[in-house]
Amino acid sequence: MTASVRQFPDLCYAAIPGYRPLELDLYLPEGDGPWPVVVHVHGGGWQRGSRRHPLSRLGPDFYDRLAGYGLAVAAIDYRLSGEARFPAQLEDVRAAVGWVHDRAASHDLDPSRVFLWGDSAGGHLALLAGLTGAKVHGIVAWFPVTDLAGLPADIAAAGGVPDPGPQSREALLLGAPAGIVPDLARQASPLAHAGPDAPPVLLMHGDADDMVPAAQSVRLAEALRAAGADVELVLVPGATHMWDGARDVAAIVRRSAEFVRAHG
């Protein structure tokens, strides 16, 4: 952590009977707020990852660098698919956003400038929460899943190897393959919730991603535009999942932070 960032670790944002306490780490810029705040949702296929381990290509000082842009960061954990099935993960993200609003005054946060930001599965959850009523003022989603039922076909079209079976990441999240529980898969898909009341959305996706193909972001962007929502889509040339192959990851972070600042 750099000297210009204040860190408050292990803050409990929800206590759900039968589960571990859900915690977040708060990073604040040096100086006086109130600060716009990013609720950051990590990826990992809904089955692994933690708030302490953002994408490896971002470096260990990722949250500190966001604070350097004048943004507070609430990096959250949530229940993974081995602990609880959907919609538990969505409920947890909503609870974290609620905690930020409720505790804003005591932590120098601005409740009128709350944003969601996530990558991959975290991008999916950030979009889903923001598009279904969480009180946020914008969403940044990197290479997110947006259409669970359409994901296998998108992977095949991108040259990847789809897994429509019961051990796929999506099936472990839902409790069954998307094709067997179509209503639940639709409920869990941001694409189904695109509407005119959506907050501003920035979608960034590698155009060579065959794990979560860019078609997922393209379809959501088209649906949001058709609904009259404010959406920006950036396809990163040559990048696969996790920004592998991206020429300038720092520029991707900067573009995302600028989106938050522009809407905050």
Structural domain boundaries enclosing 72: 5-263
Asked whether the predicted pLDDT for residue 149 surpasses 50, the reply is: yes
Asked whether the predicted pLDDT for residue 1 surpasses 50, the reply is: no
Asked whether the predicted pLDDT for residue 172 surpasses 50, the reply is: yes
Determine the Cα–Cα distance for residues 161 and 124; give it in Å rounded to an integer. Answer: 20
Tokens of 237: 């040339």
% of the chain beyond a pLDDT of 70: 99
- Write down the residue that tokens 């095949």 correspond to: 156
Q: How many domains does the chain have?
A: 1
Asked whether the predicted pLDDT for residue 15 surpasses 80, the reply is: yes
Mean pLDDT of 112-128: 98
226 or 56, higher pLDDT: 226
Determine the Cα–Cα distance for residues 198 and 225; give it in Å rounded to an integer. Answer: 10
Asked whether the predicted pLDDT for residue 3 surpasses 70, the reply is: no
| DSSP secondary structure of 6-61 | EEEEEEEEE--TTSPPEEEEEEEESS--PEEEEEEE--STTTS--TT---GGG-TT
Asked whether the predicted pLDDT for residue 99 surpasses 90, the reply is: yes
Q: What's the distance, Cα to Cα, between the start and end of the chain in Å?
A: 25
124 and 203 Cβ atoms separated by less than 8 Å = no
171 and 141 Cβ atoms separated by less than 8 Å = no
Which three-class secondary structure state does DSSP give residue 121?
helix
Sign of the C-alpha dihedral computed for residues 58, 64, 65 and 71 taken in this order: positive
At 29-74, the pLDDT tens digits run 999 999 999 999 999 999 999 999 988 889 889 999 999 999 999 9
Mean pLDDT of 208-228: 98
Distance of CA 218 to the CA centre of its chain: 17
What pLDDT is stored for residue 126 in this prediction?
Answer: 98
Asked whether the predicted pLDDT for residue 184 surpasses 60, the reply is: yes
In terms of DSSP bridges, do strands 35-41 and 5-14 run parallel, antiparallel, or are they unpaired? unpaired
**Positions of E strands within 77-230:** 109-119, 139-142, 201-206
Q: Tell me the CATH number at 22.
A: 3.40.50.1820
Mean pLDDT of 145-151: 98
Tell me the whole-structure pTM to 2 decimals. 0.97
Residue 103, class by beta-carbon neighbours within 10 Å (0-12 exposed, 13-18 middle, 19+ buried)? Answer: middle
Q: How many residues does the chain have?
A: 264
% of the chain beyond a pLDDT of 90: 95
